[in-house]
A and B are shown apart, each in its own frame.
Chain A
Amino acid sequence: MIEMSYKISYPHGLHARPATLLVAKVSSFQSQVFLTYKGSSVNMKSIMGVLSLGVPENQSFKIMVDGVDEQECMLAIQRLIADINQSS
């Protein structure tokens, strides 16, 4: 199991578009992925779950990956978040 903290600097935070990208990315892995913000944890393969958190920009949230491909999965998340933050 690996755990890391991230921030989204994308304007308006983790709204529909960046959330969709992230959910699509983690869904391609076998590992279980959870996103925790302000004490609520959601399954990160679920778009509704991620959207329900309403994570604003520049606020930190935690991602926890657990499973056979956790290393690759976390790396992919890291890259994607960096991409998203750069495109802002």
Chain B
Amino acid sequence: MALLQIAEPGQTPQPHQRRLAVGIDLGTTNSLVAALRSGVTAPLADADGQVILPSVVRYHAERIEVGAQARLAAATDPFNTISSVKRLMGRGLADVKQLGDQLPYRFRQAESQMPFIETVQGAKSPVEVSAEILRALRQRAEATLGGELVGAVITVPAYFDDAQRQATKDAARLAGLSVLRLLNEPTAAAVAYGLDRQAEGVVAIYDLGGGTFDISILRLTKGVFEVLATGGDTALGGDDFDHAVADWILERAGVSGDLEPGAQRELLKIACDAKERLSDVDAVEVAYAGWSGELQRETFDALIEPMIARSLKSCRRAVRDSGVELEEITAVVMVGGSTRVPRVRSAVGQLFGREPLTDIDPDEVVAIGAAVQAETLAGNNRDGEELLLLDVIPLSLGLETMGGLMEKIIPRNTTIPVARAQDFTTYKDGQSAMMIHVLQGERELISDCRSLARFELRGIPPMVAGAAKIRVTFQVDADGLLSVSARELASGVEASIQVKPSYGLTDGEIARMLEDSFRKADEDRDARALREQLVDAQRLLEAVEAALVADGERLLSAEERVAIDSQVAELRGLLDSQDALAIERQTKRLSQITDAFAARRLDSTVKAALAGRRLNDIED
């Protein structure tokens, strides 16, 4: 490596004291990974210079494809090409059926209640599909940053419930990523904006992505980002705009009945293109199945109006929950690709009475904010003024009580972490067990809430009804994940669970997937080793060749020159061999044989400097 430093002054490799950490925006439609590099936090690009990775996974018999290539196959290979998988995270088969014809996959009930998708590689859970996306981003980050990651901050919609968060964390685990924190998307966006502008005051973040909508109200005070309230809809996004346009096209084209999955994908693509073009022009030509016509922006605006209205209603509710008045809000930030739609911008502007901010790319802002927080959590900016994020739980947490009612223990918009206990009692004489049913939601009837988990407290000593005192404690950590414990106070009998969501994966499923992913991790590791060796080898080759051109004749004897040339040729020949070990050995050999040459070059540089001559003069 000595040669490199002489041959390329000013490009010395960075010392790698820093712990590598990234921010990942795992989106419904697109995903990104961002990191801090030479003082700038920005998304990382792939080999083709693309920062956006379409959240599409295609299963081939022998391999898996993620991203733009996979997306191209959406129409031709619909069953094996999975997109918008985020909509299935932490959901049960029944929920998924509600999404209905929007999802052209073949689902299968598995051991857990999670819907599995049939592919050529067998049944895949949404968690596994998401893990493939995360794996691709991890590999991109490690290749770009040149080292293994200590961890990642992964963003989730603020309105994600416990099951959806847990599913995201499981996906990261399968992808071999250590999760530094699950961060709410709007909070991440606020970080990106707030830091950029040194902002103070109350900020509203309107985040309309491909499949989810979030609204958060935050107070920014001296580097503290305090979420006052959050709200949203985990089933509202730009995808719904596409479906509205698709329905309009079908109606106009006079096509009815169920479409084949491939045809449906085709139609949705046409609808999505029309939507995107309408952000810049007032009318677009649309052609489908022999029909063609014009879609006016006005018509489009009317089609999506009900969805925009739904989002605005969530905004009003969040403002009410935050306890601030609309007029106190000093800035409105737009996040998510769907906020490019002009009608969305104008409607939001109208509600808040001010022009929304759009100056950071709405697709990138969440990943950038996550990367900023990842740096902090990895311990890389202990010296500077650290920022602090105080987030909240989006939905109330509670228990089932008599009569099928939900008793709230922790109301929505409570700052996390939080621990809260409530006492319950027995309702029958001699009752020895109590069922604890954990729920999340705002409604009174348990049937309207999401069931998170059930567990039983057994061994309560026999007492008359109402005499036992059972304390149930809820604890929500900084990721927004819940654990519950129950304890009978007189006897000390205890039961506790880390909430395993009803719609999560079973332990058996996780074990199997982890095994799969370990196998994959070995392959990953081999691939990474090879890539690293190749980079080292190429770097050395370039350095040696440049040095030979500059000083070969002046500083080397004929035999020395021949020896070096042959080692160079040897290493060049190995570059395509895929043999990491051989490349490593040969790189070392070349490095050793050029050591003396390097020393001589260094000496001659020093001598030249002492003689008061510039290096260029010698080279000339």
The answer to whether A and B belong to the same complex is no
B interface residues (Cβ-Cβ under 8 A, vs A): none
Spell out A's residues near B (CB within 8 Å). Answer: none
